[in-house]
Chains A and B, each alone.
Chain A
Amino acid sequence: MIPYRIAIVASIAALIFLLVIFELIRSRRLQERYALLWLITGGVILILSAWRDALRLVAEQIGIAYPPSALFVIGFLFILVVLLHYSTVISELAEKNVRLAQDLALVEERLRLHERREQGARAEGA
């Protein structure tokens, strides 16, 4: 069984973590869609920290003799998923950034063409 001290410390840590995420969303520094994975991570860690029987059961199932290690492994897995998700998000952002720059260049060229034509028309009119 997981020692009480670890259960309490881990629960408090998970709770603080969740509060920080909530505050980040509230102050608009974190969008809801990117917060969901973090919230699930924090929630699972909190449940497994506070509910010692559940953690023991999970540890037994995957063959970990010392339950707190299971908490560690599960936390690690979740963070891995979050990081992977962020890598895909960054890739998408990079792709869009390139497109934006290209579009801007094309629009700017059209604008200059337009301005030159307008100048030409005015010069002819004068």
Chain B
Amino acid sequence: MNQPPPPRKRCIAIVPALNEAATVGRVIQEIRDVDPDFTVVVVDDGSDDATGTVAEAAGGTLLRLPFNLGIGGAVQTGYRYALANGFDVAVQVDADGQHDPSQLPLILEPILAGEADIVIGSRYAGLGTYRARGVRRLGQRIFARVVSLVVREPLTDTSSSFRALNRRSLSLFAADYPHGFLETVEATVLAGKYRLRMKEVPVVMRERELGRSSLTVPLSLFYTAKVLLAVFVSLFRRPAVRLEEEP
């Protein structure tokens, strides 16, 4: 007897966007080019420009937040949508065009093969020549060191938001996800705390096309302190949600 082929996993791309009208349409198109079955959800985090209109015109599902929640809150909106609508796999793709959708298969592969619960696309794991400069790179190095130590897993790029999740990690992040900026660092620690299987995959990132990082120096100092505090406290925290057992 012939075994029926396993049902195709339902995949969703979550694209948090704040004033990215210039690039979000192309990002959606590129994701569709990779896999037309991908549902693309754009979470408009209180944009002042035409981000939402452009996203809908490009065929994305639009979740418009009534005001700016910050990147963590925006991404979690997408995770909750994905969980509520029964998606099996979710990827996060930034709206500024930094993440190259043609590399989606790279970060999806370990999830589809069942090898990992979370796959992180790392800029510093061998591929590509992208290097952040100055203080930014220093901060990234410090976070990578600290987080690797805490989750006991050698990670090179904890601030990369180019990630893929399976249903298990999706249900964690839908219930509990750090707010504010640099959320990926805290999210990685959280995943380690719940013993999710993490895997880094080397990816190439494109240079930011338009706009610069929105961070000022005092603000980035504040966030660095906040994230380090959060990571420290998380060492003493008991898990707040119970995850379903592995299938």
Contacts and interface: CB of A to CB of B under 8 A. Distances in A.
A107 B233 CA distance: 39
A31 B179 contact: yes
A32 B233 contact: yes
Interface string B221-239: 0100110011001001100
A26 B233 contact: yes
A56 B222 CA distance: 30
Contacts of B229: 25, 32, 35-36, 39
B134 interface: no
B220 to A, nearest CB: 14
Interface string A36-51: 1001000000000000
Nearest to A104: B66
Interface in B203-244: 222, 225-226, 229-230, 233, 236-237, 240
A103 interface: yes
Which of the four size classes fits the interface of chain A?
A: 10 to 19
23 contacts: A22-B233, A22-B236, A25-B233, A26-B233, A26-B236, A26-B237, A28-B237, A31-B179, A32-B226, A32-B229, A32-B233, A33-B179, A33-B180, A33-B226, A35-B229, A36-B226, A36-B229, A39-B229, A96-B67, A99-B66, A99-B67, A100-B66, A103-B66
A7 B211 CA distance: 52
Nearest to B222: A36
A96 B67 CA distance: 7
Interface residues of B, number: 13
A25 B240 CA distance: 13
Interface of B: 66-67, 179-180, 222, 225-226, 229-230, 233, 236-237, 240
A22 to B, nearest CB: 7
B225 A36 contact: yes
A100 B46 CA distance: 13
A32 B236 CA distance: 14
Contacts of A39: 229
Contacts of A26: 233, 236-237
Given A25-B229, A33-B180, A99-B67, 17 more contacts: A22-B236, A26-B236, A26-B237, A28-B237, A28-B240, A31-B179, A32-B226, A32-B229, A33-B179, A33-B226, A35-B229, A36-B222, A36-B226, A39-B229, A96-B67, A100-B66, A103-B66
A103 B46 CA distance: 13
The 4 closest A-B pairs by CB, nearest first: A103-B66, A32-B230, A25-B233, A32-B229
